[in-house]
Structure 1
Amino acid sequence: MKLSFYSLFVMFVFLSFQFIEAQNIDSLNIKAVSSNDTNRLNALGVLGDYYYYKEPKKSDSLYRVALTLAKEIKNELEECKLLSYIGLRFNETAQADSILYYQNKSLEIALKIGDSAFIASAYGNIGNAFLIKERHDDAIENYNKALLIFEKQRNLRLQGTTYGTFGNIYIDLKDYEQAILYNQKAKEIFKALNFIPGYASSTLNTGICYQRLEKYEEAIQYLEEAKTICEEHSLNRLLRVATLQLGNINYNYYKNYDQAKIQYEKTEALAIQFQDNEGIAQSNYSLGKIALLNNDSNKAILHYRKAVENFRKVGKKEAYYNAISELISALKKSGKNNEAIMYYDELITLNDSIFSESSRAKTLELMTTFDVSQKNKEIEIQNLKLEQQDLEIAKQRNIRIFFSVFSGLLIILLYFVWRSNKYKKLNQYNRIKSKRFELEQRLLRSQMNPHFIFNALNSIQSYVSENKTMDSEIYLSRFSHLMRQILEHSQEEFIILKDDFNALEAYVNLEQLRFENSFDYKFNTNDIDESIAMIPPMILQPFIENAILHGLEPKKSEGLIKVDIKMKKAIQNNMTYGVLICNIIDNGIGREAASKKDTSPNREHVSLALKLIKERLANYSEITNETYQITIEDLYENNIASGTKINIEMPYTQDLL
């Protein structure tokens, strides 16, 4: 549906506007602010009529203020009229749904109050809306309803308007001969009535019909006549259409590009005045072609950009397509290839929706050629270009397919690598966790030395039998406390150094009671923060137990155990792991003498505990990437064994894993 073909009559369709002299405007403006609602309503309506063609926005604003007032004072006739007038505004921009909304409301009130004039007006404007929607049968049905009323009322003016509207329908249907007949009927009626807007519109439409029939001499005659009338009476909307069509004839038929340029520039100025996007687009598209003929590519680009933007707004796909094509060609000619590429995807999308396979070749041509005069080249050169374009497109397509497949395979490969590493780490973690659990269970059993438990219970029994109730209670309390600590620590991977020393001290205190304080002990942490540093639990106890049972107990008196701990690495903000160096020193009889005396099962227990400790430290080293080391050194004084020194380097942490 071409909006310009049927929108020429709708600015005055089916209503008689009151045209007033300029000298009455001041008095009307005074009445428009009057305290009398009736006078104010009438003044607003007449002012809206006066500005209808001259200042459309002001006219629309006056009508809407009047409509609100009419509703407030319940003047249904004025409300009906104003709804109709407001609805007319949307004919200009072909907003069919808005037309139907206001005109149906107007028709409802008109039928209620029995006003035949506004009933006919509503039918006619509803017909316009259906015409915009290209529902010709519904449009003709409503127009005929309106025409019957106009004939009954002998209203020649509105009969003429209806004839003009039927003429527009036949323009839309491309039956230009029939359209000329109806427009000539309308023109005769408007001439007799001296109704200038109607006479100008019917004259303009007749010129358009002759133009479509390629009868340019007749077309110019009618278009020039319409243009003169529109200029004399400030009918700028009609003037915009007249100047555009005259520009087209000068450009296409007479090849008078300078005159065409003048007409197009005037068309653009008028279209901008009324925010007519289609008019802005059409005039700029034509101005772009003239600029190219004058070898002014930069100016052509500016015009084509405006055309593309405005054709996009109004949804004119074919014109939109042509504007983008010309813009790309102009950009290519100016050497702006990167900018031209930005429009290719948009062009292809339009091509797929509105053009046949033959038009596709033209689109591909625009994507690969830098020559804007492709239409003037020989067919042989065109075929060669198309073949080159097809090869290039096939090459690009193959490249895209290759990189798509390559990218897909790379993504899949990276995914499987990531997944493999994830499961590898998970399996490693589960293995370490399982091994850790096993070692902790075995260590717990080793810590719960049955000989130690048996000896402790014997000591308690001895205290009881000797009526040393207080000693037995103290011993039993310390024993139970130690057992609870061992059980609690066995459930943790790391414990703070302070808790581990408390458990060691509890153990040593029990052994002191059992061996009647035959030895003493010293624990030294060398300024280490015992509440922060963390170590694996139950590491040091077996070595201390071994020193007491096999080094100090045979000595019987003046025994001493020293536990000295130092840091190999300080705890810093970005360092989680480090190494603690633990020295366990006793002044016992030495390993050689102890091995000769010791034939008890405890010997096996100590060996098992030492093995488990080494396995645990190896497990922790695997997690923390810190090595561990256990060394045992025999101490001598004057070549006589004077004790044993055990050096342990083990990982510690502030905040484990």
Structure 2
Amino acid sequence: MRLQTIYFIFLVTALLFPLGIMAQDSLPHKSKSMSKISKVSNDLKKSLDVNDEAQIAKNYERLANEFLKKGDNVKAEEYFKKAIASYTKLKLSDDKTRVTRSLAKVQESQKDYESAIKNYEVAGEMSEDKSLEKVNSNDANRLRSASSPVVQESYVNSNIKILKKENKPEEVSAAYVQKAENSLQQKNKEVAIESYNQALAYAKGKPADIIKINNEIAKVYESDNQFDKAIGINEKLLAEAKTKQDFTTQIKQLQSLSTLYFKKEDPNKAIAALKEAFALAMKKGNSAEAKKSLISLTQYYNEKGNNKESQALYDQFLQNFDQLVQSDTTLIDAKTFQVSEDKIRQLEKEKFLKDELITKKNTFNYFLLGSIGLLLLLFLWIVKALFSIKTKNKEIALQSLRREMNPHFIFNSLNSVNQFIAENKEREANKYLTSYSNLMRNTMENSNKDFITLDNELEQLKKYLELEHLRFQDKFDFKISVDPELDSERTMVPNMIMQPHLENAIWHGLRYLDTKGLLQLQVHLTNGKVTIRIEDNGIGLTKSQELKTSNQKTHQSRGMSNTKERISLLNELYKKNITFNICEKTLPETGTIVEIIFPLIDKIE
């Protein structure tokens, strides 16, 4: 009889699942709607097909949670890991933290404590929320303290307090379940039941969790031989399942009741519950639960020597076997998901190849952009270097032009000294040399500056005019005037830009007069611009040109070009828009007017 039982169990197991699954290949899907797992797997396939990383991550997490509800922790762990990889790629730290904690919980439920501890720690380290960081740290320390239930209890209590404060009822419920399990380890069943009841209070809106917790409470009563209380809980759950037409829960509760009745030594009620579970499973196409109920029934009948009843159940099962397999939506969904999972694997491989190709392409693009960037930087450096050299050359040219003193001034000055000495005018010669040396010293001190203050420039020009007046005192007088609105100590003017024109006015205009002439230097402010006006009443440009030797003509031409070149260089270097104009007075007046105009400058950068 024992051999017959074993053979029967083997036959049922062998026939039910492989043949059932194979039968589905030729059967259309007859379920009214796809399971949630099938729906999520289809969503995942779509997101993989379009390579939408954000949706891929969300769908991996959704699929993992669906497997978790189903109780398939191995699959849940697999898809949680994939979700973490996608969230990592997207750099979504909050999502990664949440899923890492979920992964740790799944690993803990599979008693993979080492991996669970590691992931609790990782979730804590990544969390920006101090409370969540503490909760994960407590869970890691709780698992480390597996050998000490008392120590574990302190970490659980700490989490309950934090999670209540953070208003996370689902997490609070799970923590109370942990506390109940901890109390059972300490053989404190009353506290365990109390903790399970607390868990129920926070599990509102979670029917699956409520059923699971109630079943755990029933198990505690069962272990304490309080069968009536355990039966009462199972009967209540059975009644609620019937109201909701939850056939899977009805079957499981009937099976649990049969176990309790057997332990209570009430076989009639136990067999009745098993038969009801078997009939409901057969009717609703739940082959797994039908097999489970059938095995329990045949074992009981075989042990009692009631082969007739056992054979009747076996015949009933075989007669309805094909219909059972065809109507079992769990087998259909399992096969459907197997096909979907194969497609998911294929799409993941394709995605990996796409990502690898994109990475290589991006690497090449970055290399190309980097190379172009380096070449551009090199080009800019060369341009900057050339510009710097060009600017330096302009500065050198400007300095050279600025230092280019009129040889006539130096030679004439020496001739004047020589003349004073020849005429025994030692005092005049000494005075002239002293003024001349002061002028030259100031000129040399400012020779490296492109702009100096108006006050400093006018001081040098005054010394120069005094020297020239000392030589030609019977030929001209001079007058310098400055607009009172100008602050001569702050206003900047181009260095040595006026002296050549004052010299020209004296040497090529005023010194040829029969009467005493007048040289005027005026500086005034008009509409934010400084105007320098040099005016004389000499013989004028035309008459002066007629009197010049060929050498003097060359000198004057160089003097004019010197000024124009310097102004051009100053405009290029400082962008000040300096203008220069020279004209001859119209008859009956004679003489020359020079105007230099530039913006008001009080600082040179």
User: Of the two structures, which has the highest relative contact order with CA contacts closer than 8 Å and spacing of 6 or more?
Assistant: 2
Please report the TM-score for the alignment, with normalisation by the length of structure 1: 0.42
TM-score (norm 2): 0.45
